Amino acid sequence: MKTIILKVLEFAKVILPFFVKTNKKDSKEFSDLIKGQYEFLVAQLEKVLKDYFETSEKVREMHTELFALKTQLAAALAQQCAVKECSSRM
């Protein structure tokens, strides 16, 4: 029984492709659509990466400036007089 079913399935595999018409135009349009979507996604990814690295560089510059200002503030506070009645106190 199993061999009969396998033979029928094998016969169906041979016959079915003749009944299915493949439309080359539809296949090409679908392929072009997929290719277009891929190109769009790659362009979007490149844009996101460019924006990310630009923002990363700006954040790095801001951190550098922040640490420099922190150092300047610490130096200024060290020079400031701690006594309330001090005339040089700001």
How would DSSP label each residue in 67-78?
HHHHHHHHHHHH
Domain ranges of the chain: 21-63
The whole-number pLDDT of residue 88 equals 62
The whole-number pLDDT of residue 64 equals 96
Give yes or no for a contact between 61 and 54, defined as CB atoms under 8 angstroms apart: no
Q: Is the pTM of this model over 0.85?
A: no
The whole-number pLDDT of residue 85 equals 67
Across the chain, which has 90 residues, the per-10-residue mean pLDDT values are 78 68 73 90 95 96 96 84 64
The whole-number pLDDT of residue 12 equals 75
